Amino acid sequence: MKKRYYSPELKEQAVLLSYQRENIKELADELGLEVQRIYKWRKAAKTTTSTKPEKPIPDDAL
Protein backbone atom coordinates (compact mmCIF):
# COMPACT_ATOMS: atom_id res chain seq x y z
CA MET A 1 0.00 0.00 0.00
CA LYS A 2 1.37 3.40 -1.00
CA LYS A 3 1.92 5.97 1.75
CA ARG A 4 -0.14 9.12 1.24
CA TYR A 5 1.47 12.54 1.30
CA TYR A 6 -0.44 15.53 2.63
CA SER A 7 0.91 19.01 2.02
CA PRO A 8 1.60 21.27 4.99
CA GLU A 9 -1.01 23.67 3.61
CA LEU A 10 -3.72 21.00 3.64
CA LYS A 11 -2.78 20.00 7.18
CA GLU A 12 -2.89 23.61 8.36
CA GLN A 13 -6.26 24.25 6.72
CA ALA A 14 -7.72 21.04 8.10
CA VAL A 15 -6.58 21.96 11.62
CA LEU A 16 -7.98 25.49 11.35
CA LEU A 17 -11.30 24.23 10.02
CA SER A 18 -11.49 21.58 12.72
CA TYR A 19 -11.49 24.29 15.38
CA GLN A 20 -14.20 26.24 13.55
CA ARG A 21 -16.52 23.29 12.98
CA GLU A 22 -18.60 21.51 15.55
CA ASN A 23 -18.52 18.15 13.79
CA ILE A 24 -15.04 16.95 12.88
CA LYS A 25 -16.43 13.74 11.37
CA GLU A 26 -18.26 15.75 8.70
CA LEU A 27 -15.13 17.76 7.99
CA ALA A 28 -13.06 14.60 7.66
CA ASP A 29 -15.61 13.16 5.24
CA GLU A 30 -15.57 16.37 3.16
CA LEU A 31 -11.78 16.32 2.98
CA GLY A 32 -11.57 12.57 2.40
CA LEU A 33 -9.59 12.00 5.58
CA GLU A 34 -9.84 9.81 8.63
CA VAL A 35 -11.03 11.63 11.75
CA GLN A 36 -8.05 10.37 13.74
CA ARG A 37 -5.66 11.97 11.25
CA ILE A 38 -7.14 15.41 11.93
CA TYR A 39 -6.75 14.90 15.67
CA LYS A 40 -3.11 13.89 15.15
CA TRP A 41 -2.48 17.00 13.09
CA ARG A 42 -4.14 19.15 15.77
CA LYS A 43 -1.92 17.63 18.44
CA ALA A 44 1.18 18.15 16.30
CA ALA A 45 0.20 21.75 15.62
CA LYS A 46 -0.15 22.43 19.34
CA THR A 47 3.29 21.05 20.13
CA THR A 48 5.04 22.90 17.30
CA THR A 49 3.38 26.26 17.95
CA SER A 50 3.79 26.26 21.71
CA THR A 51 7.17 27.67 22.55
CA LYS A 52 8.86 28.15 25.85
CA PRO A 53 8.05 31.52 27.38
CA GLU A 54 10.89 33.96 27.21
CA LYS A 55 12.69 34.95 30.36
CA PRO A 56 11.55 38.32 31.64
CA ILE A 57 14.03 41.15 31.28
CA PRO A 58 15.12 42.54 34.65
CA ASP A 59 14.08 46.14 35.26
CA ASP A 60 17.67 47.22 35.87
CA ALA A 61 18.65 46.01 32.38
CA LEU A 62 16.34 48.52 30.71
Q: Where are the domains of the chain?
A: 8-47
Render pLDDT for 2-16 as a digit per residue (tens, 0 to 9): 888 999 999 999 999
CA–CA separation, 7 and 29 (whole Å)? 18
pLDDT value at position 8? 94
pLDDT value at position 20? 96
Render pLDDT for 5-59 as a digit per residue (tens, 0 to 9): 999 999 999 999 999 999 999 999 999 999 999 999 999 999 887 655 566 666 6
CA–CA separation, 37 and 51 (whole Å)? 23
pLDDT value at position 2? 80
CA 21 to chain centre: 14
CA 53 to chain centre: 20
pLDDT value at position 56? 65
